[in-house]
C-alpha cells in the first residue's frame, strides 16, 4: 500500500543515536545529535516488500518514530519545536550493511535504496500527544525485539527540530526519523518486521508490516559491490547476536574458560594491571555450578515514586532486559549494592532460562531464592529478600555500561563464575588469559603434588628455577 504522506517530502532526515540503550550498544554517547539524509524515493508503505539487494547478507531493520512536519520551521527554539510537528507514525530505517563502505558517512546506498524507508500505516495527530510519553515497539516474525519509550531520549523531539532549523529550513511534509532503541539487528528473506508507535492513552497508528524479499535482479557490477567481514557482521547483528541463532560466545573459548578457577583468572588479570575485575559481595545459589557468558546489562536507579509510575510499570526495563537476552548471555544487574529489595524472581529467571541465558548476576536482592536455585540456572546475588523491586529500585535502562558489585561491566564483557565469585574478563584478552591461566593451573597442580609428598614451599611455590626442570618432565609425562 502507498505510504500515508500523500505527497513526497522535500527531505527525510535521520538521527544516528538518540536512545540511551542504543548508545550503550554502540559504546558511545554523543554530546550533540548527528544526522544523515535519506532520499524521498526510499519511501514505501505497510505491506510493501523490503527488497534485499543480491549479494547482500546483512539487511537490517531499525524501528523508529517518524515525525512529519506540518508547519515551516526556521530558527525555532527548542520549547517551540514540537509545535511544528503535525503527525507521528511508525517507520523502519532499513539498510544493507554490506554497502555501508560505499558511501561512508552518508549512508546513501546502504540506507537510501528504493523502499528502505517504510512509513505508516496511519498518521497520528501530534496535537494532544506528549512527545516524552510515546512508546515504540518492533516485532520480527511475531517476537518482540524492541520496546522503548521517549521519556529518556538523549535529544528530545523539540530539541531536534530546533537544532536542525538553525541551518536547514524544515518544510511541511518533511520527515524526521528520530533514532532506534536497542535491539535493531539483521533480517533475512521471509522475515516480517512490524513497527508500532502508540501514546499513553493507547492511541496507535497501527502496525507497519514489511516482509523481506530477495531482489529479482543481480546488482550491476559497475560501482561498489557488497562486502562483509566479521567486524561488520558483529556490528550489524548487534551485541551477542552476530552468531544467531547460536551462542554469543565461541563454544571452544567458553569451554576453556569454564575449566578455569576464578581465583586464577583474577591473578592473571592483576598481573596485567587490572585490579578491579571481581564482582564483589555476590554468592551463587549453587556453589557447584559454573558460569560463563557475555554480559547483557540492566541498570536500576533509586526509587522515586513519581518516576516509578512511568518507568516501573508495563514492559519496563527489567522485563525488556529479559526479553532481549540471547543464548549464551548473562543478565547482569546494577542495583547499587542495595539488598533491601528483590531485583529478579522466579518467573523472570525462568524466562531468562527459556531464552537461553547462561546465568544471572545481581549485586542486589534475589526473590523466590529457593525456586530460582531449583531452576539450575547459575545465579549470583548479594542477598535474599522477599520484597519486590519497587520497594527500592526503578528499572531504568538496558544495554549500557554499569557498576555491579564495584566492577565496571560493559555489554559484551565475558563473565566467569564459580564458588569463589564472578570475574569480568575483557573480550580482547580472553584467549590470552585462557592460555596463561591453563599454564598457571598446571604449575599449581604440580606444586600441590610436591607439597602433598612433603616438600617445603621455599623455591617451589611459586615455581622457581630449582623446580623448573622437574616440572617440565612432569608435564611432558602427562597425557
Check whether residue 178 and residue 310 sit in a common domain. no
* Residue 400, pLDDT score: 83
Check whether residue 419 and residue 437 sit in a common domain. no
10 Å Cβ neighbour count for 273? 6
Taking the C-alpha atoms of residue 185 and residue 62, their distance in angstroms, rounded to an integer, is 7
Backbone angles phi, psi at 120, to 5 degrees: 125, -155
* Residue 320, pLDDT score: 85
Instruction: Say if pTM beats, i.e. exceeds, 0.85.
Output: no
Give residue-wise pLDDT tens across range 333-359: 999 999 999 999 999 999 999 989 999
Candidates 44, 37, 132, 115; CA nearest to 81 is: 132
Check whether residue 38 and residue 143 sit in a common domain. yes
Instruction: Give residue 176's domain range.
Output: 12-237
Peptide bond into 396 cis (omega under 30): no
Task: Give the pairing type, strands 402-404 and 407-409.
Answer: antiparallel
Residues 72, 86: contact at Cβ < 8 Å? no
Check whether residue 207 and residue 258 sit in a common domain. no
| Residue 463 domain flag | yes
DSSP string of 133-146?
A: S-EEEEEETTEEEE
Give the distance between the most distant pair of CA atoms in the chain.
89
Give residue-wise pLDDT tens across range 407-426: 999 988 999 999 999 999 99
Residues 368-373: what's their mean pLDDT? 96
Which percentage of the chain shows pLDDT scores above 90?
70
pLDDT at 144 over 50: yes
Better-predicted residue by pLDDT, 169 or 326: 169
Check whether residue 19 and residue 141 sit in a common domain. yes
Task: Give the pairing type, strands 283-284 and 329-334.
Answer: unpaired
Among 111-115, 231-235, 275-279, 439-443, where is mean pLDDT lowest? 231-235
Candidates 439, 81, 353, 53; CA nearest to 212 is: 53
* Residue 2, pLDDT score: 73
* Residue 245, pLDDT score: 40
Backbone angles phi, psi at 477, to 5 degrees: -80, -15
pLDDT at 222 over 70: yes
Residues 13, 40: contact at Cβ < 8 Å? no
- 3-state class (DSSP) for residue 181: coil
| Residue 18 domain flag | yes
Check whether residue 48 and residue 197 sit in a common domain. yes
Taking the C-alpha atoms of residue 174 and residue 186, their distance in angstroms, rounded to an integer, is 28
Check whether residue 291 and residue 197 sit in a common domain. no
Q: Total structural domains in the chain?
A: 3
| Residue 141 domain flag | yes
Q: Which of 203, 237, 271 is the last residue of a domain?
A: 237
Check whether residue 88 and residue 218 sit in a common domain. yes
Check whether residue 260 and residue 407 sit in a common domain. yes
Check whether residue 347 and residue 407 sit in a common domain. yes
Taking the C-alpha atoms of residue 170 and residue 166, their distance in angstroms, rounded to an integer, is 10
The cell for 272 is 596485567
Question: Domain holding 291: CATH number?
Answer: 3.50.30.40
Check whether residue 58 and residue 73 sit in a common domain. yes
Beta strands per DSSP E along 291-428:
291-302, 329-334, 342-344, 359-362, 365-366, 379-381, 383-384, 393-398, 402-404, 407-409, 414-418, 421-425
| Residue 284 domain flag | yes
Give residue-wise pLDDT tens across range 21-37: 888 777 678 889 999 99
Average pLDDT, the chain: 91
Residues 101-118: what's their mean pLDDT? 89
Residues 370, 391: contact at Cβ < 8 Å? no
Query: Which alpha helices (H) appear in 157-261, and where do they start and end?
Result: 157-165, 230-237, 251-258
For residue 373, what pLDDT band results from cuts at 50, 70 and 90? very high
| Residue 359 domain flag | yes
For residue 249, the number of C-alpha atoms closer than 13 Å in the C-beta half-sphere is 31
Contacts of 135 (CB under 8 A, 6+ apart): 147, 148, 149, 150, 197, 198, 199, 200
For 128-131, the CB contacts below 8 A with 24+ separation are 129/88, 129/199, 129/203, 130/199, 130/200, 131/82, 131/85, 131/156, 131/157, 131/158
Give residue-wise pLDDT tens across range 33-87: 999 999 999 999 999 999 999 889 899 999 999 999 999 999 999 999 999 999 9
pLDDT at 179 over 60: yes
Q: Which of 180, 210, 237 is the last residue of a domain?
A: 237
Distance, first Cα to last Cα, the chain = 68
| Residue 117 domain flag | yes
Check whether residue 438 and residue 421 sit in a common domain. no
| Residue 6 domain flag | no
For residue 331, what pLDDT band results from cuts at 50, 70 and 90? very high
Taking the C-alpha atoms of residue 95 and residue 186, their distance in angstroms, rounded to an integer, is 9
| Residue 1 domain flag | no
Q: Which of 205, 237, 269 is the last residue of a domain?
A: 237
Give residue-wise pLDDT tens across range 254-285: 999 999 999 999 999 999 999 999 999 999 99
pLDDT at 247 over 60: no
* Residue 27, pLDDT score: 67
Question: Domain holding 51: CATH number?
Answer: 3.90.850.10
Amino acid at each position: 500500500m502507498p505510504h500515508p504522506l500523500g505527497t513526497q517530502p522535500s527531505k527525510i532526515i535521520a538521527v544516528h543515536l538518540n536512545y540511551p540503550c542504543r548508545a550503550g550498544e554502540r559504546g558511545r554517547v554523543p554530546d550533540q545529535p548527528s544526522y544523515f539524509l535519506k532520499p524521498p524515493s526510499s519511501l514505501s508503505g505497510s505491506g510493501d516488500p523490503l527488497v534485499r539487494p543480491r549479494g547482500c547478507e546483512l539487511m537490517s531493520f531499525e524501528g523508529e518514530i517518524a515525525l512529519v512536519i506540518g508547519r515551516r520551521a526556521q530558527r525555532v527554539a527548542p520549547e517551540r519545536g514540537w509545535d511544528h510537528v503535525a503527525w507521528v507514525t511508525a517507520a523502519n530505517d532499513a539498510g544493507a550493511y554490506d554497502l555501508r563502505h560505499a558511501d561512508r558517512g552518508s549512508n546513501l546506498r546502504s540506507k537510501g535504496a528504493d523502499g528502505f524507508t517504510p512509513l505508516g500505516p496511519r498518521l497520528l495527530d501530534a496535537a494532544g500527544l506528549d512527545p516524552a510519553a510515546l512508546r515504540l515497539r518492533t516485532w520480527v516474525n511475531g517476537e518482540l525485539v524492541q520496546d522503548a519509550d521517549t521519556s529518556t531520549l538523549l535529544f528530545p523531539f523539540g530539541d531536534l527540530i530546533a537544532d536542525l532549523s538553525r541551518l536547514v529550513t524544515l518544510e511541511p511534509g518533511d520527515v524526521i526519523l528520530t533514532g532506534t532503541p536497542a535491539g535493531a539487528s539483521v533480517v533475512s528473506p521471509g522475515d516480517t518486521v512490524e513497527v508500532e508507535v502508540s501514546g499513553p492513552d493507547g492511541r496507535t497508528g497501527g502496525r507497519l508490516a514489511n516482509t523481506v524479499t530477495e531482489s529479482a535482479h543481480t546488482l550491476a557490477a559497475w560501482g561498489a559491490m557488497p562486502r562483509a567481514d566479521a567486524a561488520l557482521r558483529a556490528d550489524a547483528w548487534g551485541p551477542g547476536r552476530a552468531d544467531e541463532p547460536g551462542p554469543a560466545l565461541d563454544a571452544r573459548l567458553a569451554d576453556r574458560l569454564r575449566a578455569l578457577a576464578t581465583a586464577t583468572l583474577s591473578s592473571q588479570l592483576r598481573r596485567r594491571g587490572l585490579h578491579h575485575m571481581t564482582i564483589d559481595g555476590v554468592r551463587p545459589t549453587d556453589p557447584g555450578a559454573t558460569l560463563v557468558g557475555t554480559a547483557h546489562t540492566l541498570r536500576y536507579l533509586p526509587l522515586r515514586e513519581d518516576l516509578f509510575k512511568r518507568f516501573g510499570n508495563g514492559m519496563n526495563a527489567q522485563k525488556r532486559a529479559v526479553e532481549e537476552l540471547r543464548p549464551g548471555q548473562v543478565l547482569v544487574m546494577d542495583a547499587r549494592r542495595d539488598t533491601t529489595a528483590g531485583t529478579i524472581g522466579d518467573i523472570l529467571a525462568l524466562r531468562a532460562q527459556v531464552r537461553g541465558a547462561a546465568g544471572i548476576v545481581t549485586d542486589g536482592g534475589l526473590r523466590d531464592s529457593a525456586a530460582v536455585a531449583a531452576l539450575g540456572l547459575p545465579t549470583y546475588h548479594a542477598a535474599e529478600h522477599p520484597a519486590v523491586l519497587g520497594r527500592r529500585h526503578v528499572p531504568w535502562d538496558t544495554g549500557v555500561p554499569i557498576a555491579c558489585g564495584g566492577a565496571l561491566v560493559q555489554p559484551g564483557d565475558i563473565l566467569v563464575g564459580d564458588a569463589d565469585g564472578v570475574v569480568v574478563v575483557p573480550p580482547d584478552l580472553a584467549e590470552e588469559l585462557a592460555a596463561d591461566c591453563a599454564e598457571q593451573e598446571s604449575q599449581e597442580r604440580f606444586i600441590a603434588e610436591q607439597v602433598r609428598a612433603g616438600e617445603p614451599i621455599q623455591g617451589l611455590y611459586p615455581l622457581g628455577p630449582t623446580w623448573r626442570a622437574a616440572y617440565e618432565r612432569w608435564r611432558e609425562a602427562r597425557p
